[in-house]
Structure 1
């Protein structure tokens, strides 16, 4: 049975189409069908983990056909085989709509971060951010800090703490760290304009937790990824980053799963400035060009499909 409140909304508005996300699948479908309104599920993650989950649910006794399961981004150039497989386990038509990323980054050019980046050489700096929902432990912060210091690479590091925790940045980092890196590093407490930073000409790498939006934005601007996954789908996304050649993952210790400063420094240097990282840098730029060339082509195709669905309804 659907949700009574949502059902009343449908009855009052009588929309031509219902688009719902993962958090409200069943009620929305039931309510829409009751009023003969077409319903479309909008899946915000990629086809690979989705095809795996649906396969395990609908075909638990059948081996998944892609055992490597790298992960996903929602366009064919990265995960075509998973997009093609998804309809066979969902029994529904699937449409890839391309990477949904912010294109307009013409924000406030006077921000201190952007002014500071303007003093650095092209592709000489890494952007370090672990998203708004992943928080480093004290030990992880210290390893990241030492890794950045050992790398010798310029950096902008966005440090965040869980809501309610009153922590002074200076006290959260190794003693003397801010003083030692004051010429080539900038540490920001809280929010920062991620898209604007990634679009800046001085950015040559992104130390990321490999959240979905972060990967999309990084590839949109042709920035290679230094992957430090934390939880949820991030470890799987990090495997994709390596598989398609747009970044490298910082390996954790096999026994205790901890990150190590030396590994962090090594991967940063390889991705940003070493000769051995040329292929990674080139591949990231190639994907940026793919995204630019695709433009809104996939979205236009989706609009045509939705119009046809409404007309049929």
Structure 2
């Protein structure tokens, strides 16, 4: 794909969250696989780079491409050190285990790292920057040095276009009724008005899209989001380029071997499609009330289940303070496991081998918070979903899955306010009813289409656009905004 016989240096700069860094890493792998003359640098805080460092040093596995090691050897990790804040020690320079009240502090420290990031630009001298939606200042720093950049959205087009719509066209209804949230639609977008360091998330998102050179890349594919991709392109005033679902390889062997063996042996004793996998992602603590309702639903569903529960860890404490919601949820409801018994339910603390569970023949359904990456994994694995969105973009993602026919949604009285009886009903419907059979058939069709198509075509298109941006710069065309050139 190299048009000029030279190597290209690409600097990636994701937001400080597990759900953002891993999609950036997966994109880096595919870019290096498609363009052998590309070197990708992934920039983040040391605490966030730890899991990526482990992925880079994986030994070859059966089924890997022969040149996969070579592709990974052209991915380099670059540490960004945030300025020290009294309430934000270095082990909290990540959203993982971060108490919600410290999120503004993390964004402030991130913004204050701009001088350090600019120094990295001068050292690496990349040909291109790929940045996330919370740091438009990163693109400006690159453009001042004549470096083009584009934003990569690790979320879906439906929810991104929803937020952009109510930012640009606040008085008009979102044109796609399946994704509307009723009377909650406008109020829901107010979360973007949260401010940190004098900048709202709404301004961060809109400015990142505005500054993006020529196009915006997004972790999605046209088979499921074509109309939302087109509408986002209309709102953004530039092309939106889907890069595929970026479902990662199975990295479950990075987990403790005893934990992996325990889960797989337990699953192996269960009947085909009899188990429900329950997980709410890496960054959400259930409240005491939510724990009680979820436990009640699992108990009364009659189904076998694996429940991933996040108990507060020592590293979640900051300056002697703890997340009060998490503190309340440090224990399962009294007597829960005694009533369930180890044969029917398995509770996993903190992290489970999700990919291995999703692809196991004993798995019948996935009760999910509807994080975007988890949805992509479930669809590719052909697993019907029970949607229980709790916050952020999850309610919109859930609506899309229901529209596609691959999920049933548990009713709530406001996001996060659910009842155990509805959880139990949703599990029984997906596992045993005609509606559940229809959902399974649809998601299996989707999985077959995803496996057949892959994402190489999308990656090829992205590489071509990236090289065009780099080569424009070589031809003397300025990548600086007009207002900067005028000055």
8 Å Cα contact 2:280-2:369 kept in structure 1: yes
Over 3 Å counting, the alpha-carbon distance change for 1:103 and 1:22 in structure 2 is same
Q: RMSD across aligned C-alpha pairs, in angstroms?
A: 2.6
8 Å Cα contact 1:124-1:203 kept in structure 2: yes
Q: Deviations over 1:262-297 (max 9, x none)?
A: 211111011122233111011111121122122132
Over 3 Å counting, the alpha-carbon distance change for 1:4 and 1:145 in structure 2 is closer
Aligned-partner SS, 2:153: coil
Indicate which of 171, 175, 180 corresponds to 1:65.
175
8 Å Cα contact 1:73-1:79 kept in structure 2: no
Shift in Å at residue 166 of structure 1? 6.8
Q: Deviations over 1:172-202 (max 9, x none)?
A: 2242533433221111222211111111111
Q: Distance in 2 between matches of 1:261 and 1:221?
A: 27
Q: Distance in 2 between matches of 1:240 and 1:174?
A: 36
Aligned-partner SS, 1:252: coil
8 Å Cα contact 1:55-1:89 kept in structure 2: yes
Question: Pairwise mapping of residues 149-298 of structure 1 onto structure 2 (< 5 A)?
Answer: 149-162=299-312, 163-164=316-317, 171-253=331-413, 258-297=417-456, 298=458
1:80 is matched with 226
TM-score of the aligned structures, taking structure 1 as reference length: 0.89
> 5+ residue gaps in structure 1?
none
Q: Distance in 2 between matches of 1:205 and 1:294?
A: 24
Over 3 Å counting, the alpha-carbon distance change for 1:305 and 1:70 in structure 2 is farther
For structure 1, which segment, 115-124 or 8-17, has the greater mean C-alpha deviation from structure 2 after superposition? 8-17
Over 3 Å counting, the alpha-carbon distance change for 1:50 and 1:106 in structure 2 is closer
Shift in Å at residue 126 of structure 1? 0.6
| Alignment pair present for 1:143 and 2:289 | no
Aligned-partner SS, 1:101: coil
Q: Distance in 2 between matches of 1:101 and 1:196?
A: 13
Aligned-partner SS, 2:428: helix
Over 3 Å counting, the alpha-carbon distance change for 1:38 and 1:105 in structure 2 is same
Aligned length: 309
Q: Distance in 1 between matches of 2:145 and 2:115?
A: 13
> 5+ residue gaps in structure 2?
1-112, 182-217, 318-325, 474-487
8 Å Cα contact 2:130-2:149 kept in structure 1: yes
Q: Deviations over 1:236-271 (max 9, x none)?
A: 2111121111111111247x9732222111110111
Shift in Å at residue 6 of structure 1? 2.9
Over 3 Å counting, the alpha-carbon distance change for 1:115 and 1:70 in structure 2 is farther
For structure 1, which segment, 71-80 or 27-36, has the greater mean C-alpha deviation from structure 2 after superposition? 71-80
Aligned-partner SS, 1:268: helix
TM-score of the aligned structures, taking structure 2 as reference length: 0.59
Aligned-partner SS, 1:123: coil
Aligned-partner SS, 1:205: strand
For structure 1, which segment, 53-62 or 231-240, has the greater mean C-alpha deviation from structure 2 after superposition? 53-62
Q: Distance in 2 between matches of 1:43 and 1:3?
A: 20
Q: Distance in 2 between matches of 1:63 and 1:271?
A: 32
Q: Distance in 1 between matches of 2:420 and 2:389?
A: 15
2:241 is matched with 95
8 Å Cα contact 2:219-2:246 kept in structure 1: no
8 Å Cα contact 2:365-2:384 kept in structure 1: yes
Aligned-partner SS, 2:291: helix
Over 3 Å counting, the alpha-carbon distance change for 1:20 and 1:73 in structure 2 is closer
Aligned-partner SS, 2:306: strand
Q: Distance in 2 between matches of 1:284 and 1:272?
A: 14
Shift in Å at residue 303 of structure 1? 1.6
Shift in Å at residue 120 of structure 1? 0.8
Aligned-partner SS, 1:183: coil
Q: Distance in 1 between matches of 2:241 and 2:269?
A: 44
